[in-house]
Homo-oligomer: A and B are copies of this chain.
Amino acid sequence: MSYVLNDPADFADEAAAGFVAAHRGLVRRVPGGVARATATPSGQVAVVIGGGSGHYPAFAGLVGPGLAHAAVMGNVFASPSAQQVYSAAKAVATDAGVLLSYGNYAGDVLNFDQAEARLNAEGIPCRTVRVTDDIYSALPDEREKRRGIAGDLAVFRAAAWAAEQGFDLDAVHAVAARANERTRSFGVAFTGCTLPGAKEPLFTVPVGQMGVGMGIHGEPGIDVRPLPTAKELGALFVDALLDERPADISAAQGARVGVILNGLGAVKSEELFVVYATVAQLLEDGGVIAVEPEVGEYATSFEMAGVSLTLFWLDEELERAWSAPAYTPAYRKGTRDLTGIAAGDEVTDELDADIPVASAGSVAAAETVCAVIDAIRDVIDREAEELGRLDAVAGDGDHGIGMQRGARAAAEAARKAGSAGAGAGTVLSLAGDAWAHRAGGTSGALWGAGLRAAGEQIGDQDRPDAVIIARAMDAARAIVQGNGKAQVGDKTLVDALVPFVDSLGDAVSSGLPLADAWAAAAGEAEKAADATASLVPRMGRARPHVEKSIGTPDPGAVSFALAMTAASAVLAR
């Protein structure tokens, strides 16, 4: 749905007014739409694009050098009128004529064709290339009936490049038509969208399902299937598009393609990047070279959740077009001179570690340390979702994932250090570094610092006994409290950590063996974690909803108690 609007009937006009106000100096109003702020150079074919509003940056955002000379702006999801097309074209036309290009939809065809006829009748040469990239909107033997979606960008770029080379109208038409023949897109939808001011969505997709091949106005696709993973979606896209490569490309191997991974509105940048990671890999596996990929929003439908992948099968000329500089409100590339600046180094993301020489006793104990951290990782893996749920009550909901990343990285680092012959102290310290490094956030920093402090206390020479271990846990407590600035009663990890350390110290002093002392301390930690349900948390970035959290235990205290109990089971073996 739309959240901010005035009278829905004014939406498209007000959006156009705000768009022009935001991009003064780049675009100007002309009858029917917007044009480049600069006049079309004499003798240059003007490329005029357009369609309904609601698909930003298509179409107004794509006006400027390297792209269109003008965009005709229809009402929301409605083709512009013939009068609008005619007027906008006339505002930018030179004697060299006008190329119209737009997605192939009935209303657009009706109105653009009328305008084309009128322009030609008035002596302004005009030709049209309709974009037909959506492979699931008609069968391959009826390609001319297909709809146009995000592949628009490839065709518009080709037309603009040809126009800016000074080609005549027929030559511009030929380049744009060839670009269209070599552009294929495949889209999926997860939800529909709601027009501004409407009470009901225009169309919907069943929850948890995906419309395969669904169009950007909800046109039906070929199938409805359960939501895929990002990897499955990337594979679905790439397989289908490699299969439907243009007839003149005998094998995909070695082919160069422009790539557009387009979000329809509600699928956000990070998700698109997750999908692109798979797409890039699969194209590479298929021997296809991705040229200057575009990942983002190029043709949207308000808040529709959907993604499309476009492959633009390049030849030498089309690659020049695809790579050419452009400068529009929403599409800018290749205009920065970076020559003469040295390239930086690619650096890998490994923590270096020197492994100090350790005693045999400490190396033996390191094996137990590894087993303890493995057990912590396992319990956190199991409880990650619940921890996230607890954290979402008052915090930012990332505690489960953060702990999971930290514990996994710590277990891996511990095993690696152990294999390299590290002693118990170094294993713990490096596990802590890995935890902090991979988990990030406040709890990651505190767990990392705590494990490192414990590791440094234990060292690599002695076989650690119960007294050393109790002292190590107290060192961990000291650094966690020092860095995190929390006291008992603040509803944090500290509420479970302090009773654990106190209980462990008392039990060890009274002569209990480590396994029993630890088990008792873990029991105290569990009780203390449960008791945090009655506390009011400290305010902070991670605690936006302080008032809501009464009755819910603190996820940091809970995860600490879970970890200590899991460790207890290992020590009891």
Contact = CB atoms under 8 A, between A and B. Distances in A.
Contact of A445 (B37, B114, B199): B114
A57 B270 CA distance: 9
A21 B198 contact: no
Interface stretch (A179-187, A314-322, A344-352, A550-558): A344-352
A350 B6 contact: no
Given A56-B269, A346-B29, A389-B200, A440 B79 contact: yes
Contact of A227 (B3, B52, B79): B3
B18 A295 contact: yes
Interface string A68-95: 0000001111111111100100011000
Contacts of A342: 38-39
A198 B392 contact: yes
Interface string A191-214: 000011111111100000000000
B545 A273 contact: no
Residue of A18, A107, A278, A348 with highest tally of chain B CB at under 10 A: A18
Interface string A399-423: 0011011001000000000000000
A344 B218 contact: no
A80 B440 contact: yes
Contact of A83 (B22, B351, B389, B397): B351
A4 interface: yes
Contacts of A78: 396, 398, 402, 439-442, 444
A110 B434 CA distance: 17
Q: How many copies of this protein are present in the complex? A: 2
A511 interface: no
Interface stretch (A297-305, A498-506, A516-524): A297-305
Interface in A219-262: 219-220, 227-231, 233, 261
A43 interface: no
Interface extent on A, as a size class?
A: 35 or more
Interface stretch (A155-163, A525-533, A536-544): A536-544
A111 interface: yes
Interface string A85-121: 0010001100000000000011110110010000000
A8 interface: yes
Contact of A17 (B75, B277, B346, B397): B277
Contacts of A9: 384, 401, 404-405, 408
Contacts of A38: 338, 341-344
Contacts of A268: 2, 56, 265, 300, 302-303
Given A56-B273, A83-B436, 5 more contacts: A16-B273, A30-B347, A38-B344, A39-B341, A75-B405
7 contacts: A18-B275, A53-B270, A65-B338, A81-B444, A81-B445, A195-B401, A196-B271
